[in-house]
Structure formats: C-alpha cells, structure tokens
Amino acid sequence: MSVKAYPDDHPQWPRHPKTGILLVNLGTPDGTDYRSMRRYLKQFLSDRRVVEAPRLLWWFILNGIILLRRPSRSGEAYARIWLDDQDGSPLRKYTRLQAEKLSAMMTKDGHNQDRLMISWAMRYGNPSIPDRLQELKAAGCNRLLIVPLYPQYAAATTATVQDEVFQWMIKQRWQPAVRTVAPWHDHPVYIKALANSIKTSLKPYAKKDQPEVVLASFHGIPERYFVQGDPYHCQCMKTARLLRDELGWSDDRFMVSFQSRFGREPWLKPYTDETIEELAHKGVKHMAILAPGFSADCLETLEELNMEGREEFLEHGGETFTYIPCLNDSDDGMMVIKALVDENIGGWV
C-alpha cells in the first residue's frame, strides 16, 4: 500500500521555480471626476514618504483643505491629457505597453512563459501592487523581481514602492524570494537612450531653428529631504552630467531644473517654471525640454511641461518650444528596461 506524499488539502505549487517580474510606476486616478481624483489624491498624499509632516497637523490640512479643493483642479488638468481609449491615463497606457513588450522580448530570447510571468502595477490607484503580487503568487511565482520605474532613487518614489511590497510580504505565510532593481541613473544604456531621444526629436529642425537651450526637468522634492540624506538630487545631477557629456554639449546649452513643487517650503532649485520664464526674458527664442526622471509620460510631463511650460515660454517672448517625450515604450526605452531585467534575474531563469 503506497503512502501519499502530500495530504489532499496540500497547496498545489509548480514543480519548477517560476519567476514573476512586476513593473511599478507612480500611479494614476481611475478617472477625472471629483470622486476618482479625491480617492487617488487621498491615497497619494497620505503616504508618509511623500509628505513628511506631523501626522495630526497634516490630517487636518489634507482632509480640511486640500481634499475639498484640489480634486476639481487636478481633475481639470488630467482632463487635458486623458485618452479616449481603454486606459484613459497615459501613464497607465505606457506602463501596460512596457510590460507587454517586455514579455514579448523575453519570449523572443527563448524564455519559457511557463517559467516567467510579467505584470505591472501602480503604487497609487489601480492596478495595485498587492493585487498584482497576489496574482503572481497565485500563478505559482515563488521568485519576484520588482522594477520601480524611477531612474533616480527618492524615498517618495522608489522607497515607497518597496514599502508596499514588503507590507504585502509581511502577510504571507510562504514568502516568495524577492529582488528589487536598483536605481539606474548612471546606466550606460539609459544615458544612450536619452541621448538618442534628444537627437531624434531635434533632427527635423533646420540649423537656424535648433534650440539654443535644452532643459532637463526633474521632479522636485523639498530641500529638507535632501538635507536629511535623500540621494535624489545627486543622482539627478549625475544623470544630467553624463547625458551632457554623451551629447558633447556645454553647460549653457544643456541645463537642469526641478518641477512640480507643492506647498510653501523650499524645494530643489532652480524651479522649472521660473527657468522657462527667465530663458524667454533673456532672449532665448528656441528651447526644448525633456523629463529624464520619468520613464513614461504622465500629467507632470504632458500637462505641466508640454502645455503649461509651452504657454509660459511663448507668452514671454519665445518662438518655438519643443517637448521631447519620455522613453515610454519606444525601442530605446524598452532596451533600458530589458537590460535592467536581464541584469537582475541571473540564476532565476
């Protein structure tokens, strides 16, 4: 009489290790209406990594002031870039496409889909990190590679993604092995991809119409976070230096600024909006702008830079304003993501 290796109610796991890869971006509301915006903003602005303020004081500010007024204004801004398709949000669309194209690239390299599963999530909004992780685990993934889609590390971006992953991990009886991709602000493939995107975007312009200044705009953080040890500013400046060297340009032609400040305390400087206005006042007629810290176009790039920034430059005397898209799901952008994944799944697939 044979003895069963496992009881009848034993969990069924794959006989071979299976790896799950999760691409994670910042987040997006489900819609531009008041309720969707309020739900998204509450989750985002309640994160202690994003707003480092006394909890009780911030609770009253957030719930008594910000969440009463900001959802409508933010909804109007999102409506300017909202897509008329299944995704709605550009960030959701590009992140989904990045995951789908990465899956196709890995299959083309000969990776067995029975051993590899690729998904995507948003830190705030949907699809959520816990939901996607649960899906990967339920599909048999006992090895997880987390790819926070932020080239430069900041506590309010990379760290909060990892916080959410580890919070999910705490609740698991049988925890999968987990790896996280380190920031890639100085990765040669990333720098070359950015340089190629700039050259491609500026190629159609005649020599006389070439931008006198190309401005690299990174998302800002409060100066206080930098003083407390956040490496973000240093990594942004290194990206800019390496990109400037790759292009062979001077400091006068390739400049750096920081955008999207919020509240009254000082943020990293120079500020993007003030820099754009100053360039126009100094007589610059042709400028271009890109956002190297964003892996996909979103509200901060499409509305804040390409719309508001353009309007500001032209209003103060500029003539042509060129927005250089994020890497998104372009061939160069996908080569960056693929290189990061290949470097981090060694020994797993």
Indicate which CATH number applies to the domain containing 263. 3.40.50.1400
Mean pLDDT of 263-290: 96
Span 241-247, average pLDDT: 98
- For residue 65, is it within any domain? yes
pLDDT of residue 113: 80
H/E stretch holding 286 reads: strand 286-290
Q: Is residue 7 part of a domain?
A: no
Model confidence at 183, pLDDT cuts 50, 70, 90, reads very high
15-24, 156-165, 287-296: least confident range: 15-24
pLDDT reported for residue 104: 97
> Same domain, yes or no, for 208 and 314?
yes
pLDDT of 9 over the 60 cut: yes
**Is 322 within 8 Å of 289 (Cβ atoms)?**
yes
- Answer yes or no: do 77 and 161 share one domain: yes
* Beta carbons within 10 angstroms of residue 93's beta carbon: 19
Q: Note the residue count of the chain.
A: 349
Listed in sequence order, the residues at least 6 apart from 32 whose beta carbon sits closer than 8 Å to its beta carbon are 75, 76, 78, 79, 82
Residue 14 in this model has a pLDDT that exceeds 60: no
Provide the number of structural domains found in the chain.
2
User: Is residue 250 a part of any domain in this protein?
Assistant: yes
The reply to whether 41 and 167 lie within a common domain is yes
Query: Do 166 and 263 lie in a common domain?
Result: no
Whether 261 is in a domain gets the answer: yes
Q: Of 263, 278, 170, 161, which Cα lies nearest the Cα of 220?
A: 263
Is residue 5, in this structure, part of any structural domain at all?
no
Question: Is residue 12 in a domain?
Answer: no
| Counts of helices then strands in the chain (DSSP H, E) | 12, 8
Q: Are residues 39 and 132 in the same domain?
A: yes
Measured CA to CA, the distance from residue 224 to residue 268 in angstroms comes to 9
- Both 242 and 131 in a single domain? no
Question: What integer pLDDT is reported at residue 4 of this predicted model?
Answer: 63
pLDDT of 194 above 80: yes
> Domain span at residue 24?
19-184+332-344
Instruction: State whether 179 and 195 are in the same domain.
Output: no
Q: What is the mean pLDDT of residues 166-194?
A: 97
pLDDT for 13: 60
Q: Can you list the alpha helix ranges (DSSP code H) found in 80-228?
A: 90-108, 129-138, 160-170, 188-202, 223-227
Mean pLDDT of 242-259: 97
User: What percentage of residues in the chain have a pLDDT greater than 90?
Assistant: 91
| Residue-level pLDDT at 349 | 84
Taking residues 17-23, report their average pLDDT.
95
Least confident residue range of 41-45, 108-112, 170-174, 319-323: 108-112
The answer to the question of residue 9 being in a domain is no
Looking at residue 301, what is its pLDDT? 98
Predicted confidence (pLDDT) at residue 114 exceeds the cutoff of 90: no
Does one domain contain both 122 and 233?
no
For residues 254 and 277, state if they share a domain. Answer: yes
Beta strand segments in 168-260, E: 177-180, 213-219, 254-259
Residue 13, in any domain of the structure: no
Q: Do 212 and 89 share a structural domain? A: no
Q: Please indicate, yes or no, whether residues 176 and 192 belong to a single structural domain of this protein.
A: no
pLDDT at 7 > cutoff 90: no
CB 24 within 8 A of CB 145: no
Query: Model confidence at 205, in pLDDT bands (50, 70, 90)?
Result: confident
The mean predicted confidence, pLDDT, of the chain is: 95
Statement to judge: residues 222 and 253 lie in one domain: yes
- 101, pLDDT greater than 70: yes
pLDDT of residue 11: 61
pLDDT of residue 208: 80
